[in-house]
Structure 1
């Protein structure tokens, strides 16, 4: 069986069965391709028979290329899924993943920005746009991240059917999982203003947010707009578009939202992913205390 056949079947599985994002598909197929290099495998059964030692040798090769623990962990996750898929193709196999532990990774806390900074960023990108409609577009996208907790890919995947927002919005997140998020009036108004100014027709089955030439808006342009506003406001490099989603979660938690509700709003598959914001909120409170308490300033 040729290398390309393995990879094409794997890509089709990720897209059609697992409904992974284009970014994940590219990364997982590339990792599988590297794993198959220098291996002469006759069929899915030969791949399914590989165990921990085979994968460890591959990871050792990748580490010699200078990969960090985080990159090694991502590579391992892709290869374990690939081998599990191979086992599903083998008669009588249950598709179990190889039992091999990855490197330990120290998780950093998300870096939210303050509500005032979030509002200032949204206002500033509007003024920095080289055309009025582009400024309105950038403001609408960033407010969807901060005001509704969307991932940047989720905001950019919206189509023209979302041009007239209601009080809630149905969002398709990772793994094709759908959730309902409430939409604040300021977000609705920002999207409506963009729609009013946009020079391109916004059909219901076409992208809502457009680039300067009318094509789908890409993440790089949103990141560039955020970077320009960040520099103008003197914010740290951690003030990225994704930090707005972190800020949404942290500020809601600080206002009394419970973890289960926050998990649903963020579209997290596991509560553990949401619990990290309890640490962020505690850290924020501690910083506030240290900056404000008279004895701390003596």
Structure 2
């Protein structure tokens, strides 16, 4: 086998067996390629022989190239998975990854926008667009992110069969997992308005949201539209499309939603990913307390 054969088998395992996202597949395969280039290895047994001290040395070199804590942690996670897979391929009866702890990460708090800001952003991307149908499109996308808590990739993966939305919508999230999310009346109306104005035929199997030439709408176009709107509104750079999903979660939690329900709505694999929103909500409550309390 060659290094290319190893990487192709690893890519196929991630994409077909583990159903990882294309972004994750690219990142994990790239990390494995860097390890093979540094340590060599033409077969599974050679990769399987990688131990913790080898990884430590490799990551030290990567840190010397300017890799930060978060990127180092991601690289380590990818490499441990690759080595565990290699050991399984080599017939190791205990194909566990080397034990090595990554750098400690300071988990940042999401910065939600207010409900008024979310609505203003959606309206402004409509007003700033060069064509009416493009403005209707961008408004519909942002309302799906804020009103239903979708990831931008989930919104852009919707097809023409989703154009006539009801009160709920079934979406496919990370790892191919499906979930049902609510759709607000304002969002349903926005999607219907876009579908009526769109100059391209919205067939059931084709993307719902189209680019200016009729192809699938890219995430970059949505991000640019929101960047223009946030600058016009004087909002910080943290007001991104993904922050609308954070806002959906934070506002639901403030209204009394429990964490398990929120986990289902967001499509988080673990409750730990959802629990960060309790910190956001506590911070907001403390801020309000300090403003209102006479001794604050």
If the TM-score is normalised by the length of the shorter chain, which range does it land in? over 0.9
Structure 2, gaps ≥5 residues long: none
Deviation at 1:202, TM superposition (A): 1.3
> How far off its partner does 1:290 sit?
2.6
Cα drift, residue 293 of structure 1:
3.8
Residue number in structure 2 paired with 1:117: 117
Measured in 2, the distance between the counterparts of 1:206 and 1:272 equals 35
Q: Which moved more, 1:25-34 or 1:284-293?
A: 284-293
Report the Cα distance in structure 1 between the residues aligned to 2:42 and 2:259, rounded to whole angstroms.
49
What TM-score does the superposition give when structure 1 sets the normalisation length? Answer: 0.96
- Aligned position for 1:27: 27
Higher mean C-alpha displacement, 258-267 vs 198-207: 198-207
Query: Partner residue of 1:9?
Result: 9
Distance 2:240 2:8 in 1: 35
The alpha-carbon deviation at position 295 of structure 1 amounts to: 4.5
Change (3 A) 1:206 1:294: same
SS in structure 2 opposite 1:169? strand
| Structure 1 gap ranges (5+) | none
The answer for the alignment partner of 1:211 in structure 2 is: 211
Deviation at 1:49, TM superposition (A): 2.0
The 3-state SS of whatever aligns with 2:39 is coil
1:100-149 per-residue CA deviation (whole Å, 9 max, x = no partner) reads 11000010111001111011101111111110110011011111110000
Matches within 5 A, 1:87-166: 87-166=87-166
SS at match of 1:135: helix
Match of 2:107, SS? coil
Paired position in structure 2 for 1:65: 65
* Shift in CA distance, 208/95, structure 1 to aligned 2, threshold 3 Å: farther
Matches within 5 A, 1:1-298: 1-296=1-296
CA separation of 1:254/1:4 partners in 2, compared to 1, >3 Å: closer, same or farther? same
Q: 2: CA distance between counterparts of 1:194 and 1:9?
A: 42
Q: Per-residue CA shift, 1:12-63, capped at 9, x if unaligned?
A: 1111111111111111111111111033313112211211111111101100
Deviation at 1:94, TM superposition (A): 4.5
Deviation at 1:294, TM superposition (A): 4.7
How far did 1:163 drift? Answer: 1.0
Distance 2:261 2:38 in 1: 48
**Equivalenced residues, count:** 296
Question: How far 1:87 sits from its partner (Å)?
Answer: 1.7
Deviation at 1:11, TM superposition (A): 1.0
| TM-score computed with the length of structure 2 as normaliser | 0.97
Moved more, 94-103 or 279-288: 94-103
Task: Tell me how far apart the structure 2 counterparts of residues 190 and 247 of structure 1 sit (CA, whole Å).
Answer: 19
Superposed CA offset, 1:218-259 (max 9, x none):
111111011111001111111111100000000000000001
Partner SS state of residue 104, structure 2: coil
Distance verdict in 2 for CA 1:110–1:175, change over 3 Å = same
Contact 2:170 2:181 in 1 (8 A): yes
